[in-house]
Amino acid sequence: MPRTDASEEGAQPRVPRLIALHALAASIDFERYFRWRRAHEGDPFYVRFPGFGAALFTGTAEGAREMFQAPVEFLEPPRPNPIEPLVGAASLILTSGERHRQDRALLAPAFHGARIREYGEIIRDSTLREMSGETGPTWQPGARIDSRAAARAITLRVILAAVFGVDSHERRVEYTAGVAELLASFSGPLMLVPALRHGLLGHAPWDRFIVARDRLDRLIRADIARRRQGVDAPSSDILGMLLSTRYDDGTAPTDDELCEQLRTLLVAGHETTATTLVWGLFHLHRAPEALERLRMELREAGPGMRPIELAGLPYLDAVCQETLRLHPPVPIILRRLTGPCTLRGVALAPGDTMGVAVPLLHSDPDVWSDAARFDPDRFVERKYRPFEFAPFGGGHRRCVGAALADYELRIALATILGRVRLRLGPRYAHGPAPVSVPHNIATGPHRSIPFDVLSDLSH
């Protein structure tokens, strides 16, 4: 049972007030906080988030199974939601019930196998263009690369091409600036403390966020309008697909709904993959045997291998899966209950919230031995159940773009390693890994991880 303060009547347990302080103090390092809670209180345990109420968390495979297999009609996203200002109430991430089912049916075809395979060349070309110095330093011997900035540039270029068909430098610059400004303005305090979401004569953090969001929305709405008016030719990109699809009743999404879905794809579709790419490079360059094994697999595959074949290489797959195990980009999965449910023996009522602490799930000692070690062979030797390994969530709300994220991570990582030889900056070559902290919709290293380019392997 979670540690709680019981009321005199013995009814629903009350969450200790100190938990709110612990959660606030540890909000910049979810992984460490969750480990501390499990070590001191077992599983499950309550966490109170300032402004959002309490949630009962589990980090076990059995607990994840219970939550992911709970009746669909009893589950919805928590409200208020920390990321609602960023993605919008109409976002697939936040809708529930029949609306969520219809929205998912609308977006899912964009991420099916055949369409995903079409993005392979875009991913490889985007990676090579970034390495050539189009938006940052050229990846030539002697250069020092800011891996976080480079990874964001690669993944944003991919999502802009896949969603909007962006192929001009001018539009890419506009969108890149708009997305960067939006993400920079949605700080941790704004995300975690709703009381701060008020303006102050145009000078408060909330004011700056609203300005940034409006600026990006104007770009998105201009693209929607051009397509509707026939100014831009019909396209097979995701925007073109959404404009041609309909809900079950024959109606089309409104421009407001489209804008929020597209903004979600821009934000969630690049930030999460970018942070995972950085972590993959980090761990490989601290594990020389794993790095050389992957390089050997890539050399044997040859430079002419098609992206779809490249993404299927077994050790590359294992490296990417192990990176996602150690660093799930979204570390908590929350569900608000609309009906009664039980999680790890604790009865929950409608209105309560339950969650899976993914870092705990991915380090559960009953499943993972020596869990803190980077060991891709775990995924060579066996397959894990979706209740043991859930980097993209689970159940009916599993991330709709998971297949694209997986595919992009593999191709981008393989392209970088096949093109250059890197060395970790001296600060991170040894010692503990950087702390993983919230970055808007995802978590990632608390500061950039630099790499030095040692040699160009393409010659």
**Helix%, strand%, coil% for the chain, nearest 5:** 50, 10, 35
Residue 414 has a pLDDT of 96
pLDDT digits (tens, 9 = 90+) for 43-92: 999 988 766 778 999 999 999 999 999 999 999 988 777 788 888 888 88
17-456 has CATH 1.10.630.10 classification: yes
Give the model's confidence band at 347: pLDDT under 50 very low, under 70 low, under 90 confident, else very high: very high
Residue 25 has a pLDDT of 39
Give dist(CA 18, CA 297) in Å, integer.
51
Instruction: Give the dihedral sign, CA 118/120/122/123.
Output: positive
Residue 12 has a pLDDT of 43
Among 153-167, 286-300, 326-340, the range scoring the smallest mean pLDDT is 153-167
Question: Given the structure tokens 């599993």, which residue do they identify?
Answer: 398
Give dist(CA 69, CA 72) in Å, integer.
8
pLDDT tops 50 at residue 353: yes
pLDDT tops 70 at residue 10: no
Residue 234 has a pLDDT of 57
Contact 261, 253 (CB under 8 A): yes
Kindly state the tokens that stand for 240: 């073109």
Contact 243, 228 (CB under 8 A): yes
Q: Phi, psi (5° rounding) for residue 6?
A: -85, 145
Residue 193 has a pLDDT of 66
Distances (CA, A) of 55 to 8, 91, 330, 352, 429: 22, 22, 16, 7, 37
Contact 453, 139 (CB under 8 A): yes
Every domain of the chain and the residues it spans: 17-456
pLDDT tops 80 at residue 375: yes
Identity of residue 6: A
Identity of residue 245: T
Decide which of 6 and 146 is more confident: 146
Question: Given the structure tokens 């291998």, which residue do they identify?
Answer: 305
pLDDT tops 70 at residue 14: no
The side-by-side arrangement of strands in the sheet containing 75-76 is: 45-49, 53-58, 353-357, 332-337, 75-76
Q: Return the number of other C-beta atoms located less than 10 Å from residue 296's C-beta.
A: 11
Give dist(CA 126, CA 409) in Å, integer.
12
Q: What is the mean pLDDT of residues 284-301?
A: 95
Give the model's confidence band at 24: pLDDT under 50 very low, under 70 low, under 90 confident, else very high: very low
Instruction: Give the residues across from 180 on adjacent strands.
Output: none
Q: What is the mean pLDDT of residues 333-342?
A: 94
- With both helix axes pointing from N to C terminus, report the angle between 169-185 and 147-164 in degrees, rounded to the nearest 10: 120
Among residues of the chain, what percentage have pLDDT more than 90?
A: 48
Kindly state the tokens that stand for 187: 């700080």
Residue 23 has a pLDDT of 43
Cα first-last separation, the chain: 61
pLDDT digits (tens, 9 = 90+) for 200-248: 777 788 889 899 999 999 999 999 998 888 766 656 788 888 888 888 8
Contact 63, 343 (CB under 8 A): yes
Mean confidence (pLDDT) of the chain: 86
Among 178-182, 218-222, 397-401, 455-459, the range scoring the smallest mean pLDDT is 455-459
Give dist(CA 65, CA 342) in Å, integer.
12
Most confident of 93-97, 330-334, 346-350: 346-350
The helix (run of H) or strand (run of E) holding residue 190 is helix 188-192
Kindly state the tokens that stand for 399: 């991330």
Contact 31, 59 (CB under 8 A): no
pLDDT tops 50 at residue 27: no
CA angle 196, 436, 399 (to 5 degrees): 80
pLDDT tops 90 at residue 32: no
Residue 232 has a pLDDT of 67
Residue 251 has a pLDDT of 86
CA dihedral 419, 375, 283, 141 (to 10 degrees): -30
- Sequence-distant (≥ 6) Cβ neighbours of residue 11 within 8 angstroms: none
Residue 133 has a pLDDT of 87
Give dist(CA 117, CA 410) in Å, integer.
13
Residue 28 has a pLDDT of 61
Most confident of 108-112, 139-143, 159-163: 139-143
Give dist(CA 182, CA 213) in Å, integer.
6
pLDDT tops 50 at residue 345: yes
β-strand 53-58 against 353-357: which pairing, if any? parallel
Give the model's confidence band at 17: pLDDT under 50 very low, under 70 low, under 90 confident, else very high: very low
Q: What is the mean pLDDT of residues 99-120?
A: 84
